[in-house]
Amino acid sequence: MTRPLLILIAGPYRSGTGGDPAAMAANLRRLEEAAWPIFEAGHVPMIGEWVALPVLRSAGATLDDTLADDVLYPTAQRLLQHCDAVLRLPGESTGADQDVAIATSRGLPVYYDVADVPRLARQDRQDDGQDDR
């Protein structure tokens, strides 16, 4: 591997929350906790909600609107056309299961533990113009 992978982090967001905004925020924080280890391994983390939620807001919709299902799942499906792998976090999630199914059908690797994401060799990481610290 000689270039950073774009890795979709998939796991529960709305599932099991009953629409409770605090529970969804907690789920998003759990998804985001995987972002640093992926980045630190030399890759680019991506979470579908990072794209879908602003799209919903710009449409004047909320997660309670019927438009939410027309944005959340399709956003992940479109992102997977650009992603190189998926990290599937634990927890029941129809959307995350769909992400895994799409990734598998496209022959993309699916990791179930962030520790299994391969590290990009330091010399293979793109130079960001900064000195190593």
What pLDDT is attached to residue 31?
Answer: 98
Q: What is the structure's pLDDT at 65?
A: 81
Q: Is residue 1 part of a domain?
A: no
- Is residue 17 included in any domain, yes or no? yes
- Asked if residue 51 is part of any domain, the answer here is yes
Tell me the pTM: 0.88
The CA–CA distances, whole Å, from 29 to 18, 59, 65 equal: 17, 24, 23
Task: Let me know if residue 130 belongs to a domain.
Answer: no
Confidence (pLDDT) at 126: 56
Render each residue's pLDDT in the chain as its tens digit; 133 residues: 789 999 999 999 999 999 899 999 999 999 999 999 999 999 999 999 999 999 999 998 888 888 888 898 899 999 999 999 999 999 999 999 999 999 999 999 999 999 999 999 876 665 554 444 4
Residue 27 exposed, middle or buried by CB count within 10 Å (0-12, 13-18, 19+): buried
Domain ranges, residue 98: 6-115
| pLDDT value of residue 69 | 84
For 83, residues 6+ apart whose C-beta sits below 8 A from its C-beta are: 5, 6, 7, 8, 46, 103, 108
What pLDDT was estimated at residue 133? 43
Say what the pLDDT of residue 131 is.
47
22 located within any domain: yes
Q: Which CATH number is 73's domain given? A: 3.40.50.10400
Does residue 133 belong to any structural domain of this protein? no
- Is 10 within the bounds of a domain? yes
- Do the domain assignments include residue 64? yes
Q: Structurally, how many domains does the chain consist of?
A: 1
Measured distance CA(128)–CA(114) in Å, rounded: 24
